[in-house]
């Protein structure tokens, strides 16, 4: 992957303290806290944790040593091999620094640099073609033209509303979209950003998957050469939340013990995808959530606020996916639905499609498909029971048959006796739709 000139300039590794774009006190405090936590630290360890150039570490340590705030414990042939510890006065300053914040990690980048990086990496939308979308959805049995509804939404990179009855693959479709996005052009993301002298941690190991360069690939080595190590190269992120989502997760979160901020979920998802599953069942009303995002969805800009009241403007550049089993017209008003670019119904399968799903599930679980057995399921457990078909039923019925088979030490078969035993255990009521 080649780095565009503008982005390459932004990612160029600083070699002097004044080139970092953040207050020098932040680096000094990071050095204090690392020494406070570990006692004795060599230059290599500072570089590893702070992710800044060795010359910057040496520059700061030299100044602190001159002021008798740190002292050399072990010296080597080169200054970059020295090991340092705090003096008594340095220890007092380190304790003051720990009282302000306990953050120890990669040095942050300036908030303006982060904003420019997102805009540079999202201005040209990541385009997927029909073949890629079909391949991403190939493990699902869907209508032939279904991909034509999903592909344009991905390329538009704005918003997608998946709706329909439960158990028909909405979440699986969204996960396939997330995987497809993750496999497009990777993105450079800072581990932390600085705003108003405060540190905001962006990197989340549960969200950001690093791109590991092949050490034997000279092109990969050239790509990383000279890049500011405060940035990492990651797959396009995907954040997926369900009913546990609270409004606080969409704002800067201040940790009162550690005393630094964690980025909100939508900022972690920038340049990727944010899925709100089970939309309408969150621990806030749909209207509250939608009111929070009306401006970002229209303008592509979000506003985050520090506890001090200072506001930060950040790009809002991700595919937002809402997935719900509820009636969209009862969840939100038409004005909001118009703001969501693509609305896609994921309906229950008809009998012909359900047969295809059933055959595929039988193949996956190595259960012989039997036409008469399948017709028995259709007649007794769907037609007679007036039960709507859900795609997930095929998998669940087969898994229940396998459990019965394992318990009775008999081969799994699609025969009426085993089917009825499995379905009577799986469905709550034989006589009404579940």
> Could you read off the pLDDT of 93-118 as tens digits, one per residue?
999 999 999 999 999 999 999 999 99
Lowest mean pLDDT among 116-130, 232-246, 349-363: 116-130
Which pTM value belongs to this model? 0.86
pLDDT at position 126 is: 67
pLDDT at 67 over 70: yes
Contact between 61 and 43 under an 8 Å Cβ cutoff? The reply is: yes
Percent residues over pLDDT 90 in the chain: 64
Please state the rounded mean pLDDT for residues 252-274.
Answer: 94
For 113-135, the DSSP string reads HHHHHHHHHHSSPPP--HHHHHH
* Matching residue, tokens 């997330």: 178
User: Is residue 432 scored above 70 in pLDDT?
Assistant: no
Q: How many alpha carbons fall within 13 Å on the CB side of residue 344?
A: 28
Taking the alpha carbons at both ends of the chain, their separation in whole angstroms is: 50
Element (H, E) at 49: helix 43-50
Average pLDDT over residues 287-295: 82
Binned at pLDDT 50, 70 and 90, residue 327 comes out as confident
| Domains of the chain, each with CATH number or no CATH | 23-106 (1.10.10.10), 111-345 (3.40.50.300), 351-426 (no CATH)
Which element (helix H / strand E) includes 314?
strand 311-315
What's the whole-number mean pLDDT along residues 225-230? 90
Greater pLDDT, 187 or 282: 187
> Which tens digits make up the pLDDT trace of 122-171?
887 668 889 998 998 988 888 888 898 888 888 877 788 899 998 898 99
Question: Rounded distance, CA 340 to CA 334, Å?
Answer: 10
**pLDDT for 82 beyond 60:** yes
- HSE (CB half, 13 Å, CA atoms) of 307? 12
């Amino acid at each position: 992957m080649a780095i565009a000139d503008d982005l390459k300039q932004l990612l160029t590794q600083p070699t002097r303290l004044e080139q970092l774009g953040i207050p020098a006190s932040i680096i000094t405090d990071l050095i204090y806290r690392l020494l406070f936590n570990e006692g004795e630290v060599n230059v290599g360890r500072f570089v590893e944790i702070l992710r800044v150039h060795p010359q910057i570490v040496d520059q700061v340590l030299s100044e602190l040593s001159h002021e008798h705030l740190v002292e050399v414990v072990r010296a080597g042939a080169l200054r970059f091999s020295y090991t340092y510890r705090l003096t008594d006065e340095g220890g007092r300053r380190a304790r003051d620094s720990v009282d302000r914040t306990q953050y120890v990690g990669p040095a942050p980048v300036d908030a303006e640099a982060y904003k420019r990086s997102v805009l540079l990496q999202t201005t040209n939308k990541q385009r997927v073609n029909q073949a890629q979308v079909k391949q991403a959805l190939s493990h699902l049995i869907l209508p032939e033209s279904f991909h034509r509804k999903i592909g344009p939404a991905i390329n538009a990179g704005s918003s997608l509303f998946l709706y329909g009855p439960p158990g028909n693959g909405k979440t699986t479709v969204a996960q396939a979209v997330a995987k497809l996005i993750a496999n497009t052009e990777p993105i450079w993301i800072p581990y932390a950003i600085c705003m108003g002298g405060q540190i905001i941690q962006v990197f989340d190991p549960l969200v950001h998957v690093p791109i590991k360069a092949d050490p034997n690939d000279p092109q990969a080595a050239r790509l990383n050469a000279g890049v500011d190590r405060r940035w990492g190269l990651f797959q396009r992120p995907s954040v997926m939340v369900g009913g546990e989502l609270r409004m606080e997760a969409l704002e800067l979160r201040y940790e009162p013990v550690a005393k630094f901020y964690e980025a909100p979920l939508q900022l972690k998802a920038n340049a990727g995808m944010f899925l709100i599953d089970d939309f309408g069942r969150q621990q806030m009303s749909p209207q509250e959530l939608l009111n929070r995002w009306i401006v970002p969805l229209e303008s592509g800009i979000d506003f985050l606020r520090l506890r001090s009241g200072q506001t930060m403007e950040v790009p809002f550049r991700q595919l937002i996916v809402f997935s719900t089993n509820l009636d969209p017209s009862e969840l939100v008003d038409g004005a909001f639905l118009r703001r969501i670019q693509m609305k896609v119904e994921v309906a229950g399968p008809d009998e012909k499609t359900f047969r295809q799903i059933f055959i595929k599930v039988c193949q996956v679980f190595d259960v012989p498909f039997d036409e008469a057995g399948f017709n028995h399921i259709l007649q007794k457990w769907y037609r007679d029971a007036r039960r709507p078909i859900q795609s997930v039923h095929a998998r669940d019925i087969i898994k229940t048959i396998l459990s019965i088979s394992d318990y009775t030490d008999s081969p799994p078969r699609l025969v009426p006796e085993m089917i009825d035993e499995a379905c009577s255990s799986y469905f709550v009521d034989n006589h009404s739709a579940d």
